[in-house]
Amino acid sequence: MRYFSLEKLINLYDGYRKTFKIDEHHLLLIQEEGVRFLVESFCPHREHSLMDAIIFGDTISCPHHNYQFHLSSGDVLQRSEEPCRKLRIYELVEEGREVGVLL
């Protein structure tokens, strides 16, 4: 595994969202209410961007068809009749004055 730097801690704030592409990984870094999440940036349902997703507590809701995923486990919490795999969740690593990910 290799460490990839994503963002300086000083640049993170509530409402922060930014996408990253590292090799085949499409990542979305989010901070809401002081909590940071790193998830895949495309919805597992139909691959729409999660950049405009709604976060409430530990749930992320895709605005396109309102599928909801748990931000810690990636479990599907709400969906229509169309099945959907879990959301990929990545562990954020704090390294000095920045956050990154091990891939």
Question: Could you list the residues that contact ligand FES (CB under 6 A)?
Answer: 43, 45-46, 48, 62, 64-65, 67
Q: Which of 10, 30, 100, 25 is nearest to 72 (CA)?
A: 30
- Is residue 31 within 8 A of residue 16, CB to CB? The reply is yes
Of the pair 28, 62, the CB lying nearest ligand FES is at 62
Q: How far is the CB of 91 from ligand FES (least distance, A)?
A: 23
DSSP state letter for 24: T
- Is residue 89 within 8 A of residue 39, CB to CB? The reply is yes
Q: How far is the CB of 65 from ligand FES (least distance, A)?
A: 3
Q: How far is the CB of 40 from ligand FES (least distance, A)?
A: 12
